[in-house]
Structures are given as C-alpha cells and as structure tokens.
Amino acid sequence: MVIHTDLNNFNIKNPILTIGVFDGVHQGHRSILSRLNKLAKEKDGESVVLTLWPHPRIVLNKDVDTLRLLSNIDEKKFLLSKTGIDHLIILPFTKEFSELTACEFIENYLVNKIGVKHLVVGYNHQFGKDRKAGYEFLSECASKFGFTIEKLSAKSVDKDNISSTKIRGFLNAGELDIANKYLGYEYFISGNVIEGNQIGRKIGFPTANIEIPEPYKQIPQDGVYAVRVILNGDSFYGMLNIGTRPTIELDLKSKNIEVHIFNFDQKIYHQTITVSFVKRIRDEKKFSGLEELTKQLTNDKSEIKRIFSLD
C-alpha cells in the first residue's frame, strides 16, 4: 500500500476509488474495500482509498467533548494496509477545506487530481459541506464528469447493520464480545509506558501503566480484561485494568490503564506498548484492602490463564 499525503504528483492507472473516515476499519468497511480490490482487478486498475485527517469535528471544534475514535491515523494506516488496497490518500482537513461544496470537491480532487474512473460508496455515504451530498448527487456528478459509481448494501452481523458508532457504544458499555465481532478483530490500543506508584509490584502483580497519546481514542468500559500484549515485536499475555483504582487511590480523577504482563519482569518505561482486548472478566471493584485485592487478582489471573489455555 502506497500512502499519499498530497496529490501534486498523483498519477496512477485507472483509479478505482472509495471515500470515507473508515474509523476502526470494521467488517462493514472491509466489505467495501474487498469490492474495491475486486473491481480494480476486473477493470485493470488500482484500488484507492481517500480519507481525511484530522477528523473534521476536531478542526471545526464541533462536539469534540463527545468525540471518540476507534483508530488514530497510525492505527488506521496499519488496518488498511492489511486489506490489500493499492493506495491510501490522506488529505489534510482544514477549515478552508471544509468550505468546499461537494461539487467543488468532486471536480477539483476526484476528477482533476485523482482521475477517478469508478467510485464505490457505502449504503449511508454522505459527504461535502454539512454532509448534504448523498448517492443521488454523486450519480449526477458521475454522469457529468464521466466516471461510474455503485452503492453497496450494508454489511450486517446477526441481522444488525455494522457501524463505527455502534461499535463505540458496545465498547463503552463493556460489550467487548459484540464489539470484536463487528470489528472482525480484537480491539486494541497503543500507548507509552509511564512510571506508576509501584504498588502492584509490592503485592506480586507488577504493572505497566499506559498513557494513551490520542485524547479522542475510545477506551473500553472500566473493568478487568484478558489481553494480548505486543512489545518490541514480541507477544505476551496479560490482564489489564481500566479505572480509578478505588482500593488504593482515594481520589483519582482520571482513568488509569495498567497491564500485568504474564511471565515478564523488565523495565519498559517510555516504550510503546499495544494491547488487544480478548475478553472482559469483571467490573472494577473497591476492596477492603491490599490483601483482599491480591486474592482477587490471583483469581483473575487464573481465569485469564484458562482463557488462553496457559499452565
């Protein structure tokens, strides 16, 4: 996959294009991308995904307090690279860009700069200023500018249409199994390992405290999770807690994310760590003290080891 951040020298053969945010690159998105790749082969062309970054709501300061994203730009690049597309175009979204009408965007970017030959869109695709341009408008533009277009039906799981909004809701509600099913992979987060208060080490459960650099990243509901851990290219198993650590913190106002990595005892401060969420084990609880907490953590670890079929 070739990544393009401007279109000044963009020149490819017979571009077969789709446009979207593709937050999370879930199963619904991948059905579009699969069709895109298939058409590119049939039409002797190249598959192209066009997306925008930063997210428009961030630039326009629109409801940013409630904005949560399944994937940051680096995660999106990684997920899209696994789909087999030929080209990813990341256009910088600015306030000036937001003033373009749908017609101006199509003519200036899709036609003049990309040279689109065929456009594939999802069932609910809307774009342009105030997201007013839908499939009917695109069809008129296709006829005017000489490219073809098709709209795909919604991808569903258990008769429910998949969407990034629904997946974010499942994660926020702790329904990890459903979220992962809709995504088609285990939801993951990446962050930097920072120093903690070392209490976990004192009770036999040393943890890596994770700081998420992306403020809009969707964090799953508070609780204890069975996770896979990637660190420096190596894979591990572990248990992760999200919450305020009520047993040992009297007034922790911000969320804490910490992971106990099994069979691991290295200092990894300031390194990047990725954890993928496999199963939610329980809610976060306040215990009477460290002894009761240690007993519960021992039980959690045993349960998670059973999930992963570990000794």
Sheet of strand 148-151: strand arrangement = 2-4, 87-92, 46-53, 15-19, 118-121, 148-151
Residue 138 reports pLDDT greater than 70: yes
- CA distance readout (Å), 164 to 64, 161, 192, 222, 256: 17, 10, 25, 20, 24
Lowest mean pLDDT among 118-132, 190-204, 228-242, 297-311: 118-132
Cβ atoms of residues 82 and 232 within 8 Å = no
If one counts the domains in the chain, the total is 2
Report if residue 97 sits inside a domain.
yes
Residue 270's domain spans which residues? Answer: 187-307
Report if residue 101 sits inside a domain.
yes
Query: Model-level pTM?
Result: 0.94
User: What does the pLDDT read at residue 201?
Assistant: 82
Mean pLDDT across 272-287: 96
On whether both 138 and 203 belong to a single domain, the answer is no
User: What does the pLDDT read at residue 204?
Assistant: 87
Cβ atoms of residues 213 and 192 within 8 Å = yes
C-alpha to C-alpha distance for 261 and 151, rounded to whole angstroms: 45
On whether both 22 and 147 belong to a single domain, the answer is yes
Report if residue 167 sits inside a domain.
no
User: What does the pLDDT read at residue 132?
Assistant: 59
